[in-house]
């Protein structure tokens, strides 16, 4: 199966970083997700209960980032991936987590991970 559900550019304000000043302010993070999902079932039923609820996924990712307050993007990415695989039964996902403005000469810095198998 190669079907996917996408969430692109999910913006979350959260505490993240290793420097003292970063632990005192919220910073904007951008999340892109591609998640394996058999879209044939919801397509056939036309029932939202058969679909991957991208609004609920977005809410869980946002809540995790706000609550976790990780120091590293790597830690945040791994936490999100584990949470989504466990709570939504995702076999595979690709996640990109960006921190805009972290390096003045770059639009953003970030990490990209894939977990599971398609």
| pLDDT in the model for residue 51 | 97
Q: How far apart are CA 86 and CA 89, in angstroms?
A: 6
Catalytic residues: 99
How much is the average pLDDT of 84-100? 98
Is residue 102 pLDDT above 90, yes or no? yes
Q: What is the per-residue pLDDT across 52-91, written as a single tens digit (0 to 9) for each?
A: 999 999 999 999 999 999 999 999 999 999 999 999 999 9
| pLDDT in the model for residue 1 | 64
Task: Quote the percentage of the chain above a pLDDT of 70.
Answer: 99
pLDDT bin (cut points 50, 70, 90) of residue 118 is confident
SS (H, E, C) the chain: CCCEEEEEEEEEEECCCCCHHHHHCCEEEEEEEEEECCCHHHHHHCCHHHCCCHHHHHHHHHHHHHHHCCCCHHHHHHHHHHHHHHHHCCCEEEEEEEEECCCCCCCEEEEEEEEECC
- What's this model's pTM, rounded to 2 decimal places? 0.94
| pLDDT in the model for residue 90 | 97
The domains found in the chain, sorted by start residue, are: 4-116 (3.30.1130.10)
């Amino acid at each position: 199966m190669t079907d996917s559900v996408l969430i692109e550019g999910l913006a979350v304000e959260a505490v993240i970083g290793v420097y003292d000043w970063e632990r005192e302010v919220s910073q904007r993070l951008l999340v892109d997700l591609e998640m394996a999902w058999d879209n044939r079932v919801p397509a056939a039923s036309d029932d939202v209960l058969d679909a991957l609820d991208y609004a609920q996924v977005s809410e869980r990712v946002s809540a995790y980032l706000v609550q976790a307050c990780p120091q590293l993007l790597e830690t945040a990415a791994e936490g999100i991936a584990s949470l989504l695989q466990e709570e939504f039964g995702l076999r595979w996902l690709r996640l990109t987590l960006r921190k805009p403005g972290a390096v003045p000469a770059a639009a953003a810095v970030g990490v990209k991970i894939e977990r599971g198998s398609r």
